[in-house]
C-alpha cells in the first residue's frame, strides 16, 4: 500500500483546482490529486474543437472566491473561447500553486472503502495505490463521451475526431469533405465555425435544437480593465438568482401577456445571450407547456426568417420537445451556414445512421463519403464519470448496483453507502442549471466545512443516510415534474441520451437560491440527513418540503425575500398583502358590504337559505385584510354553496388584545342575528379562520357557546393556540420554512400588548371545552404551530367535541394563501368541503 493522505481529489477542472486549494491551503490538509488529462482545465483541456466557448458571460463563468483573481484576470471576449478559458484555469492553477498537488496523466481506476480502517483505497492506471481518509470527486458531469449507437468508427479510413478529445495540434479541414454528427451545443459550435473552411460539410441531424444568438463580441482593452475592477458590482446578486447570474427577472407569465407584449419581450432578449431568453422573458415558460409554446414558436419563426430554403428551415425547427426541456444551445451564424451551397443537412430521424463505413457514413437510406467525420454525439452525463472510479462502498457495495434504477445522492454531494466520499457537482446537485463556477464553489465550501467539522470532532465516518437520499430524490423528482423538462425526448437532463440508462431526475432544478438555502440549513442544524460515526441527524424541514412549496420558496428567495422576523410592521403588512398575488382568483359572485360591523358577504347564486361561513383572515393579528381574504372567501362560497361573511377586525399593535377577539365575536353575533336578511341560515353557521384568524375563530366558538349562539362547526386552519406552548414543532420549525418562531413571538407580543393570557387569547386555557361546535383542525407538517394545534384538537376530542384532524405533509405556515402556486392547497379546500357538508347534514338531521 502506498502513501496515506487526508484527502484524495480526482479531477483538475474548475472543481478540482478549487477543491485542492480549499482543502490544502485553507484547511491545512495533506492532499493528493489525480487527473487523467495531461494538464489542468478539465472540460476546457479536453474540448478543443473549433468554436468551443462558454455561453455564460466570462465575467460570470469564472471563480468568485478570490478578489485578486477577479481583479487581475481580464477577459478579451464577452463569451470567451476554449483557449482563453484554458489559459485562465492554467493561470489560476499557477497562482494558487495547485499543480504540484496533482499527478497528471493518471486515471483513478478503483476506489474501495476499507471499513475497518475507515479509509479509502485508491488505485490508479499506473499500478500505484494509496489510501485516504476522504475522497473528493471532482470528475465533472460532462467528462465521459457517449459511445455512439452505430458501429464502425474504427473502420473509417479517413480522419475521425471526437469533439471531447480533440487533438492538440491544429486540424486542417480545407478542401475536405467533412461530416458532423450531432446538433447539440457542441455540434452547433463546430458547424458554424467550420462551415466556411470545409469544401463540403454534411450535418447529420437527428433532433433539431432551439438555438438562440449568443451575442458574443470582443471586449476592448479599456472595458476589460473596467470589468475586472468592477467585478464585485457586475456579479452582485449572482447567487440570489435562479441560475447564478444576475440577469433581469422575468416579466410575469407569458400567458398573461398579449401577443404584442410577448413579441416585444422576446425581441428584447432574443440576441442578448447567456440564457436571458429563458430566464428574463416570462416566468411560466419553463413550467407551462402552453406558455412554452409561445417562445418555441417565436424561435421557430426566427429560424424560418434566417434559413432561405423552406424545406431546410422546416427540418431545423424543433417540434418534438418544449424549449429548454433540453439544455438550450447558443449560436453565431449557425442558421446562415445552411444557406451556403456546400453545407447539407441530412435528417437521420427518418433514416437513422446504421454504421460508419471505411469510406463514410451509411444511413438506412443512403451511403455518404467523407474525408473527415466529427462526432459531436454528447456525453454519458453525471453518472459515468463516477462509475468509472470503480467505487465499492460499505460491505463491498458497488455503485453500479446502488444506481441500477438511476442515480441517488443527497444534495449531489454524498451517496448513501459510500462514507467519506464527497462529490462536487454530482448527480442531483444544482449544477445543471446553476452557473458552474459558483455552483462548484458552493459545493466545495459545503464539503470543506463538513470535513473541518469531521476533523475537529474526530469523526471517523461522515455519510448521507438512505432516508435523506430518498427524501432528496423525491424533492428533485417532484420539482422536475413541475417543469416542462420531463416532456423532452432523448435529453441528457433525464439520462435519455444513452440507450438503456435509467430515466430519472439527474439534477436539482429548484434553482440556486433554494439549493443554497437548503445546504445552509443542513449545515446549520448539524448536518441533518447525514450520519456522523453512524449517528444520524434528522432530515431538515426544507428537504421534506412539498415540491411546489419548495419552488415557491425558492422564487421568494430569488426575489430577495428577507426573513419575516427582520421586517418592520409596514413590511410585514406589505408581505401579507402581496400574498394575494399567490392566490388563485376567486369566482365572480354577488358581494355585499356591511359597515358595522365591517364585513363582506359573498353570496353564491344558489337557492337559499344558505349555510353560512364566518371567515377571519390570517396575518398574525398585525396584518392581513378583507382584500387578502377575498379570493379564498369567493372560493369557499362557491365550492360549499355557502354564504361567506368575511369579517374585519382591528389589528395590533395599534389595537391590541382584546380588540381582535371582541371584533370577531361581535361579527359572529351580528351574523347570527342578521344573516337571514341576506339569505343565510342562522341555524347553520360555521366559524372559520386561517392562522391568527383561526385562533380568533377558536375563541369565537367558545364565546358563542357561552353566549348561547348555536354553531354548526368550527374550522381552524393551522391555528396558533398558546404563546407559551412548549412543543416539539416550535423547536423543530423555529427557523421556518417561511414562518419562524421569532416572527410568531413578535406577533403574539403585539397582539397581547402585555395583557394577561386568558382563554380569550389562548383557547386551550378555557375551563371547559365541552359543548363546543364540531371542529375541523387543519395542520401542516412543517409548521411550528402544528403541535399546539394538534394538542388542541386532542383536548377538544377529550372534552367530547367531534373533531377531525387533517395534517398536510410537506407544507409550511401560510400556504392557504398560496393556492396559485401550491396545487395541494386544493386538498385543504376539499377537506373543508367534506367537513362543511357534514355540518350541513348534522344540522339538517337535528332540525
Q: Please give the residue ranges that form the binding site for ligand FAD (CB under 6 A).
A: 10-16, 34-37, 42-43, 45, 47, 52, 54-56, 61, 107-108, 138-140, 142-143, 186, 385, 388-389, 425, 435-436, 440
Cβ contacts of 99 within 8 Å, gap of 6 or more: 40, 93
The Cα–Cα gap between 510 and 528 comes to: 19
| Among ligand FAD, ligand NAP, none, partner that 492 touches (CB below 5 to 8 angstroms by kind) | ligand NAP
* Closer residue to ligand FAD, CB minimum distance, 399 or 579: 399
Backbone angles phi, psi at 381, to 5 degrees: -80, 145
**By CB under 6 A, residue 362 contacts ligand NAP:** no
* Closer residue to ligand NAP, CB minimum distance, 181 or 696: 181
CB of 54 to ligand FAD, least distance (A): 3
* Closer residue to ligand FAD, CB minimum distance, 36 or 343: 36
CB of 341 to ligand NAP, least distance (A): 24
Helix axes 547-558, 466-481, angle to 10 degrees: 70
CB of 509 to ligand FAD, least distance (A): 15
The Cα–Cα gap between 386 and 103 comes to: 19
* Closer residue to ligand NAP, CB minimum distance, 156 or 462: 156
The Cα–Cα gap between 391 and 420 comes to: 12
CB of 56 to ligand FAD, least distance (A): 5
CB of 322 to ligand NAP, least distance (A): 14
- Contacts with ligand NAP: how many residues (CB under 6 A)? 28
Pairing of strands 643-647, 713-717: unpaired
The Cα–Cα gap between 355 and 684 comes to: 77
The Cα–Cα gap between 139 and 217 comes to: 31
**What torsion, rounded to 10 degrees, do the Cα atoms 66, 71, 77, 82 define?**
-40
Helix axes 512-524, 547-558, angle to 10 degrees: 100
* Closer residue to ligand FAD, CB minimum distance, 294 or 443: 443
* Closer residue to ligand NAP, CB minimum distance, 189 or 283: 189
CB of 108 to ligand FAD, least distance (A): 4
CB of 136 to ligand NAP, least distance (A): 23
**By CB under 6 A, residue 606 contacts ligand NAP:** no
| Among ligand NAP, ligand FAD, none, partner that 739 touches (CB below 5 to 8 angstroms by kind) | none
**By CB under 6 A, residue 348 contacts ligand NAP:** yes
Pairing of strands 599-603, 643-647: antiparallel
CB of 419 to ligand NAP, least distance (A): 31
**By CB under 6 A, residue 206 contacts ligand NAP:** yes
Cα distances (Å, whole numbers) of residue 501 to 138, 139, 372, 495, 547 = 22, 19, 30, 6, 25
The Cα–Cα gap between 279 and 242 comes to: 8
CB of 192 to ligand FAD, least distance (A): 14
Q: Which long-range contacts (CB under 8 A, 24 or more apart) does 695-699 make?
A: 695/719, 695/720, 695/721, 695/761, 695/763, 696/616, 696/621, 696/649, 696/660, 696/661, 696/664, 697/614, 697/616, 697/664, 698/763, 698/792, 699/661, 699/664, 699/665, 699/759, 699/760, 699/761, 699/763
| Among ligand FAD, ligand NAP, none, partner that 14 touches (CB below 5 to 8 angstroms by kind) | ligand FAD
The Cα–Cα gap between 408 and 421 comes to: 14
Cβ contacts of 615 within 8 Å, gap of 6 or more: 629, 632, 633, 636, 644, 645, 646, 647, 688, 689, 690, 693
Q: 665, exposed or middle or buried, with CB in 10 Å at 0-12, 13-18, 19+?
A: buried
CB of 21 to ligand FAD, least distance (A): 13
**Neighbour count for residue 740 (Cβ, 10 Å):** 19
- Of all residues in the shown chain, the one whose CB is closest to ligand NAP is 184
**By CB under 6 A, residue 185 contacts ligand NAP:** yes
Q: Of 176-184, 232-240, 385-393, 396-404, which part binds ligand NAP (CB under 6 A)? A: 176-184
**What torsion, rounded to 10 degrees, do the Cα atoms 744, 750, 751, 753 define?**
140
Q: Prior bond to 140 cis, omega within 30?
A: no
Pick from 187, 511, 619, 632 the residue near ligand NAP by CB under 6 A. 187
Binding mask 365-404 for ligand NAP (x = CB under 6 A): -----------xxxx-------------------------
CB of 810 to ligand NAP, least distance (A): 31
Question: Kind and range of the H or E element at 88?
Answer: helix 82-96
* Closer residue to ligand FAD, CB minimum distance, 132 or 671: 132
Site for ligand NAP in 112-171 (CB under 6 A): 142, 148-150
* Closer residue to ligand FAD, CB minimum distance, 59 or 313: 59
Binding mask 254-283 for ligand NAP (x = CB under 6 A): ------------------------------
* Closer residue to ligand NAP, CB minimum distance, 379 or 418: 379
Cβ contacts of 412 within 8 Å, gap of 6 or more: 423, 425, 426, 427, 428, 429, 430, 431, 443, 507, 508
Are residues 834 and 778 in contact, defined by beta-carbon separation less than 8 angstroms? Answer: no
**By CB under 6 A, residue 435 contacts ligand NAP:** no
| Among ligand FAD, ligand NAP, none, partner that 37 touches (CB below 5 to 8 angstroms by kind) | ligand FAD
Site for ligand NAP in 474-503 (CB under 6 A): 490, 492, 497
**By CB under 6 A, residue 330 contacts ligand NAP:** yes
* Closer residue to ligand FAD, CB minimum distance, 48 or 703: 48
Q: CA-based angle 751:718:566, to the nearest 5?
A: 50
| Among ligand FAD, ligand NAP, none, partner that 389 touches (CB below 5 to 8 angstroms by kind) | ligand FAD
| Backbone dihedral region for residue 737 (phi beyond 0: left; psi -120 to 50: alpha; all else: beta) | beta
* Closer residue to ligand FAD, CB minimum distance, 54 or 652: 54
Residues linked to residue 159 through DSSP beta bridges, in sequence order: 372
* Closer residue to ligand FAD, CB minimum distance, 142 or 694: 142
* Closer residue to ligand NAP, CB minimum distance, 245 or 843: 245
Q: Which residue has the cell 473561447?
A: 81
Site for ligand NAP in 648-667 (CB under 6 A): none
Pick from 64, 70, 183, 202 the residue near ligand NAP by CB under 6 A. 183
Residue 566, Cα to own-chain centre: how many angstroms?
A: 25
CB of 376 to ligand FAD, least distance (A): 9
The Cα–Cα gap between 510 and 123 comes to: 37
| Among ligand NAP, ligand FAD, none, partner that 58 touches (CB below 5 to 8 angstroms by kind) | none
Q: Which residue has the cell 463521451?
A: 145
| Among ligand FAD, ligand NAP, none, partner that 187 touches (CB below 5 to 8 angstroms by kind) | ligand NAP
DSSP 697-753: HHHHHHHHHHHT---SEEEEES----TT---HHHHHTTT-SSS-HHHHHHHHHHHHT
Are residues 712 and 706 in contact, defined by beta-carbon separation less than 8 angstroms? Answer: no
Name the E strands within 386-467: 391-392, 421-423, 462-464
Pick from 35, 55, 663, 690 the residue near ligand NAP by CB under 6 A. 55
CB of 182 to ligand NAP, least distance (A): 3
DSSP label of 177: E
CB of 217 to ligand NAP, least distance (A): 16
CB of 52 to ligand NAP, least distance (A): 7
Cβ contacts of 459 within 8 Å, gap of 6 or more: 453, 532, 533
| Among ligand NAP, ligand FAD, none, partner that 363 touches (CB below 5 to 8 angstroms by kind) | none
CB of 16 to ligand FAD, least distance (A): 6
Binding footprint of ligand NAP on the chain (CB under 6 A): 54-55, 142, 148-150, 181-187, 189, 204, 206-207, 327, 330, 348, 353, 376-379, 490, 492, 497
Amino acid at each position: 500500500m502506498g502513501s496515506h493522505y487526508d484527502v484524495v481529489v480526482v479531477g483538475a477542472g474548475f472543481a478540482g483546482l478549487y477543491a485542492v486549494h480549499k482543502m490544502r491551503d485553507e484547511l491545512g490538509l495533506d492532499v493528493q490529486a489525480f487527473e487523467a488529462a495531461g494538464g489542468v482545465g478539465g472540460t476546457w483541456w479536453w474540448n478543443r474543437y473549433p468554436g468551443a466557448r462558454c455561453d455564460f458571460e466570462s465575467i460570470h463563468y469564472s471563480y468568485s472566491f478570490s478578489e485578486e483573481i477577479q481583479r487581475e484576470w481580464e477577459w478579451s471576449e464577452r463569451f470567451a473561447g476554449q483557449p482563453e478559458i484554458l489559459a485562465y484555469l492554467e493561470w489560476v492553477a499557477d497562482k494558487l500553486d495547485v499543480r504540484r498537488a496533482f499527478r497528471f496523466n493518471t486515471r483513478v481506476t478503483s476506489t474501495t472503502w476499507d471499513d475497518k480502517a475507515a479509509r479509502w483505497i485508491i488505485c490508479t492506471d499506473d499500478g500505484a495505490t494509496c489510501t485516504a481518509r476522504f475522497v473528493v470527486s471532482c470528475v465533472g458531469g460532462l467528462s465521459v463521451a457517449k459511445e455512439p449507437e452505430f458501429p464502425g468508427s474504427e473502420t473509417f479510413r479517413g480522419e475521425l475526431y471526437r469533439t471531447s478529445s480533440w487533438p492538440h495540434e491544429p486540424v486542417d479541414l480545407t478542401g475536405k469533405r467533412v461530416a458532423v454528427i450531432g446538433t447539440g451545443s457542441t455540434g452547433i459550435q463546430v458547424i458554424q465555425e467550420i462551415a466556411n473552411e470545409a469544401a463540403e460539410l454534411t450535418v447529420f441531424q437527428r433532433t433539431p435544437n432551439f438555438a438562440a444568438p449568443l451575442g458574443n463580441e470582443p471586449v476592448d482593452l479599456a472595458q476589460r480593465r473596467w470589468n475586472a475592477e468592477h467585478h464585485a458590482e457586475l456579479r452582485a446578486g449572482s447567487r440570489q438568482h435562479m441560475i447564478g447570474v444576475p440577469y433581469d427577472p422575468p416579466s410575469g407569465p407569458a400567458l398573461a401577456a398579449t401577443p404584442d407584449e410577448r413579441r416585444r419581450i422576446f425581441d428584447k432578449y432574443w440576441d442578448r445571450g447567456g440564457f436571458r431568453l429563458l430566464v428574463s422573458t416570462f416566468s411560466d415558460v419553463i413550467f407551462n407547456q402552453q406558455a412554452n409554446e409561445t417562445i418555441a414558436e417565436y424561435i421557430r419563426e426566427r429560424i424560418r426568417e434566417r434559413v432561405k430554403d423552406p424545406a431546410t428551415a422546416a427540418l431545423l425547427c424543433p417540434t418534438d420537445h418544449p424549449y429548454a426541456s433540453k439544455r438550450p444551445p447558443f449560436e453565431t451564424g449557425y442558421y446562415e451556414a445552411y444557406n451556403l451551397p456546400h453545407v447539407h443537412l441530412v435528417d437521420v430521424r427518418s433514416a437513422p445512421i446504421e454504421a460508419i463505413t471505411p469510406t463514410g457514413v451509411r444511413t438506412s437510406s443512403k451511403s455518404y463519403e467523407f474525408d473527415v467525420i466529427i462526432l459531436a454525439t454528447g456525453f454519458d452525463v453525471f453518472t459515468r464519470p463516477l462509475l468509472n472510479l470503480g467505487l465499492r462502498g460499505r460491505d463491498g457495495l458497488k455503485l453500479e448496483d446502488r444506481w441500477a434504477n438511476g442515480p441517488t445522492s443527497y444534495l449531489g454531494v454524498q451517496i448513501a453507502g459510500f462514507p467519506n466520499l464527497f462529490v462536487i457537482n454530482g448527480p442531483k446537485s444544482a449544477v445543471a442549471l446553476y452557473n458552474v463556477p459558483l455552483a462548484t464553489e458552493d459545493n466545495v465550501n459545503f464539503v470543506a466545512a463538513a470535513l473541518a467539522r469531521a476533523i475537529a470532532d474526530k469523526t471517523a465516518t461522515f455519510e448521507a443516510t438512505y432516508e435523506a437520499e430518498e427524501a432528496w430524490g423525491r424533492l428533485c423528482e417532484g420539482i422536475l415534474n413541475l417543469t416542462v423538462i420531463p416532456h423532452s425526448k432523448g435529453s441528457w437532463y433525464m439520462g435519455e441520451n444513452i440507450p438503456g440508462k435509467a430515466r430519472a431526475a439527474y439534477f436539482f432544478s429548484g434553482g440556486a437560491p433554494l439549493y443554497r438555502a437548503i445546504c445552509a440549513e443542513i449545515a446549520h442544524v448539524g448536518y441533518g440527513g447525514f450520519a456522523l460515526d453512524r449517528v444520524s441527524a434528522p432530515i431538515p424541514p426544507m428537504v421534506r418540503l412539498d415540491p411546489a412549496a419548495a419552488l415557491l420558496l425558492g422564487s421568494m428567495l430569488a426575489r430577495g425575500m428577507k426573513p419575516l422576523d427582520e421586517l418592520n410592521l409596514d413590511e410585514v403588512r406589505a408581505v401579507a398583502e402581496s400574498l394575494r398575488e399567490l392566490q388563485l382568483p376567486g369566482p365572480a359572485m354577488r358581494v355585499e358590504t356591511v359597515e358595522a360591523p365591517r364585513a363582506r358577504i359573498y353570496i353564491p347564486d344558489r337557492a337559499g337559505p344558505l349555510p353560512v361561513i364566518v371567515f377571519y383572515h390570517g396575518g398574525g393579528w398585525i396584518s392581513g385584510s378583507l382584500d387578502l381574504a377575498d379570493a379564498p372567501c369567493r372560493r369557499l362560497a362557491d365550492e360549499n354553496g355557502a354564504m361567506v361573511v368575511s369579517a374585519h377586525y382591528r389589528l395590533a399593535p395599534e389595537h391590541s388584545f382584546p380588540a381582535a377577539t371582541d371584533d370577531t365575536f361581535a361579527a359572529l353575533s351580528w351574523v347570527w342575528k342578521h344573516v337571514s336578511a341576506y339569505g343565510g341560515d342562522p341555524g347553520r353557521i360555521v366559524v372559520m379562520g386561517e392562522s391568527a384568524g383561526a385562533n380568533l375563530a377558536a375563541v369565537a366558538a367558545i364565546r358563542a357557546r357561552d353566549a348561547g349562539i348555536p354553531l354548526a362547526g368550527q374550522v381552524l386552519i393551522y391555528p396558533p393556540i398558546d404563546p407559551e406552548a412548549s412543543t416539539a414543532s416550535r423547536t423543530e420549525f423555529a427557523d421556518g420554512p417561511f414562518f419562524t418562531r421569532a416572527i410568531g413571538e413578535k406577533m403574539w407580543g403585539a397582539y397581547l400588548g402585555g395583557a394577561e393570557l386568558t382563554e380569550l387569547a389562548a383557547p386551550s386555557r378555557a375551563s371547559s371545552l365541552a359543548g363546543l361546535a364540531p371542529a375541523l383542525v387543519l395542520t401542516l407538517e412543517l409548521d411550528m404551530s402544528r403541535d399546539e394545534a394538534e394538542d388542541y384538537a386532542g383536548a377538544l376530542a377529550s372534552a367530547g367535541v367531534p373533531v377531525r384532524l387533517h395534517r398536510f405533509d410537506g407544507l409550511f405556515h401560510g400556504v392557504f394563501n398560496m393556492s396559485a402556486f401550491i396545487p395541494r392547497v386544493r386538498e385543504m379546500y376539499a377537506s373543508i368541503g367534506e367537513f362543511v357538508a357534514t355540518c350541513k347534514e348534522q344540522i339538517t338531521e337535528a332540525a
